[in-house]
Structure 1
Amino acid sequence: MEMSAVRNAIADAARAVTLPAGTAALTSTGYVPDAVTAPHFFCAEYSVDYDRAMNRALDEVELTCRVLVGRADDKSAQAILDNLLAGSGPTSLKTAIEAARGAPGDYALGGLAHDLHVTRVQGYRWYEHQSTQYVGAELIIKIIGEG
């Protein structure tokens, strides 16, 4: 798998969320940005388990992504974050990202990976990015594909 392309495709998929009226549109990058325009989703660290099948047939990646929301008002910021972390619905990052799995029998992310699955949310807390504080959380995505 070409991880730069995979990360960019996941960021593209995340942009499909529809936030409530009056909320800024979600910005999204496949890399850790220097500056954040909140709300912002980005792909961060990842780990790779090589050779999950013989002859480099399959690698398994665990990708950590973050979503950060501005904290002008702590209560409304957390409401926006909760919408983004929902398990389903038009505001759900899980739904938007998993839509990039494609139809049954198709490869995920337009052929970049065999499959992906958003497995969990963790680290719901305040984050500091470039000396600015945001409320945010991490999404963990399991991705499998050719080695």
Structure 2
Amino acid sequence: MDPGAIKEEIANSIRTAIPALNCFGYCPDSVPEPCFYVGEIEIDFDRAFQRGMDEMRVTCRLLVSRADDRAGQRALDTYLSGSGASSIKAAFHAARGAPGQPALGGLCDDLHLTRVQGYRMYEVGEVKFYGAELIVRIIGEG
């Protein structure tokens, strides 16, 4: 699996599903809100014999405005919903492709948004945002 290509395709997939969301396959220096970006990755090599499978865990972040505390958190909740036009969970599900087909346009075998954590205030530079981390599990050929 190519981590750089996977990070970019995750951002492209979310951008396609939710056009109003600014999406990056890397950690941006400045954050245009609302913003989704791919952050840290962890890779476990050799999860199957003969380089048969690697596993990657990707931490993505979702940041929204905190100009109004209630409206900002409502917006965050909408993106974190399990379904709907602005649901990141639904966007990840669409990026998996059809049953039996590889995910992310063939870059990996499968991916799954497994968890949301860190629902809190984040600071980027001197600007504060409401946000959350999204943990994505990706498997593919080694």
TM class by shorter chain equals: over 0.9
The one of 105, 111, 124 aligned to 2:119: 124
Aligned residue type for 1:5: A
Residue matched to 1:109: 104
What is the alpha-carbon root mean square deviation over aligned residues?
A: 0.9
Structure 1: state its 5+ residue gaps: 19-24
Residue matched to 1:29: 24
User: How far does residue 17 in structure 1 lie from its aligned partner after superposition?
Assistant: 2.2
SS in 1 for 2:98: coil
Distance in 1, matches of 2:124 and 2:141, equals 34
Runs of 4 or more, structure 1, over 4 Å off, are none
The one of 79, 83, 88 aligned to 2:74: 79
Does 2:5 match 1:5?
yes
SS in 2 for 1:55: helix
SS in 2 for 1:32: coil
Q: How many residues align?
A: 141
User: How far does residue 131 in structure 1 lie from its aligned partner after superposition?
Assistant: 1.4
TM-score by length of 2: 0.96
Residue matched to 2:18: 17
Distance in 1, matches of 2:21 and 2:85, equals 13
1:107-140 deviation per Cα after TM superposition (whole angstroms, max 9, x unaligned)? 0000000000000100000000121100000000
User: How far does residue 88 in structure 1 lie from its aligned partner after superposition?
Assistant: 1.4
Structure 2: state its 5+ residue gaps: none
Distance in 2, matches of 1:57 and 1:130, equals 41
